[in-house]
Chain A
Amino acid sequence: MMPGSAIPSRLREQVRISMSPARPLAASWMRALALAPLGVLALVGIPAYFGHRPDLPADAAVLAGLSAVQLLIGWCVLAAALREAVPGQSLSKQALAALSALACGAYAAIVFFTANASLTHVPAGRESLYLRVCLGTPVVLGLPLLALTAVVLCRAFPLRPAIAGGLAGLGIGLFVDSGWRLFCEVTDPAHVLMAHGGSVLALAIAGAFSGWLWSRSSSWT
């Protein structure tokens, strides 16, 4: 053991006065598992509260099955966000690009597969209303979930808070949309990609912006 005099006195005192046991965080995938109930809450709670789409009883296996797949993708993105938040485990540019492409590609595939199974359109003359409701409401529902996720993220020490926050927002967006799509009866890809997809993107941007704001605060510096 090196002599204690090797440590500058200022550092020694600051560490000594705040020394306490610190339980290591669980692995990223385990902490993501702890957030999985948020996804289940969205998947089940949104159609339970707002009502379910008329074709759900007839096509429950396909519709609910695709929502479950989307939930799983959202969970994988959240796990990536939690991993990104740990120093030394940041995702490479290639991994980030691949993950984003996979999530977007899978989301688009789910949208088109659902439309293929049962195509419905926005009622004529109500495009603006449907756009506002299907873009705005999921964002409002997702923000508290994003705030909870941000608390979990900050317990690590994210060195790129905007990226970690953006991934968290994307994951939460996919969670919320997995339940919202069981409420909204429209499967027309134009509406779904613009409104529902827009809400997912908005939550990702909100997460990235929150991370950027936090990096400017004294909690990070």
Chain B
Amino acid sequence: MESADQNLRQLMAAYQAGDFDAFESLYGSFAPALTRYLTSLAGERDLAADLVQETFLRIHRARRSYDPRHPFEPWAFAIARHVYLMDRRARARRARREASTVPDAAPIASGHENNFGKRFVHQLMAGLSQERRDLLGLRFVLGLDFHEIGERLGLRPGTARVRLSRALAELRGQAEGKQ
């Protein structure tokens, strides 16, 4: 039985040759995994759906840069991550522009301590590097094992494990520092 990666490589090669049906098959095969990955990065399904479309458009523009002798997923996920980072940068710019015109928010009313907890976690995550946020998302949101995480990020499983451990240690350190 062909592996999933072999199937994706063949579809991509046919797509590069100008076969639109191959593009449709590629979308059908890969979009679910791409959606899960972008959901883990973006945290919202609707945003992830937009980013999936944008990623496939970039894949279309960049299709000649794919080498069929190499696995498909690292190439495609690298583009997806780039799309997510560009979108995040654009949102941050918009938020800064809006923040300069919006008055200060009211203090948190009593009875909203749960929201404070979620906000606390978001603040902690925001303090991590993008790589560490990716690792935490792939492991604890998507539930991938270290072998799968390594394939997504181009790391050996052992390296992924060590880096995740460091990410958790940093998260713990930040939480203790803020309390």
Contact = CB atoms under 8 A, between A and B. Distances in A.
Interface of A: 1-4, 6-8, 10-11, 14-16, 18-25, 27, 85-90, 155-157, 159, 221
Contacts of B17: 21
B82 interface: yes
Q: Which 5 A-B pairs have the closest CB atoms?
A: A2-B28, A157-B62, A88-B75, A88-B74, A21-B18
B70 interface: yes
A11 B68 contact: no
Interface residues of B, number: 36
B78 A87 contact: yes
A16 B22 CA distance: 12
B125 interface: no
A29 to B, nearest CB: 12
Chain B, interface SS category: helix
A24 B57 contact: no
B24 A4 contact: yes
Given A6-B27, A11-B56, A21 B78 contact: no
B156 to A, nearest CB: 11
Nearest to A14: B57
A221 to B, nearest CB: 6
B49 to A, nearest CB: 8
A6 B23 contact: no
Chain A, interface SS category: loop
B29 interface: yes
11 contacts: A6-B27, A14-B57, A18-B60, A87-B62, A87-B79, A88-B75, A88-B154, A90-B78, A157-B61, A157-B65, A159-B79
B57 A11 contact: yes
B47 to A, nearest CB: 15
B6 interface: no
B67 A27 contact: yes
A1 B24 contact: yes
B174 interface: no
A2 B53 contact: no
Given A1-B21, A221-B86, A86 B64 contact: no
Contact of A159 (B27, B53, B82): B82
A88 B23 contact: no
Contact of A24 (B24, B67, B78, B82): B67
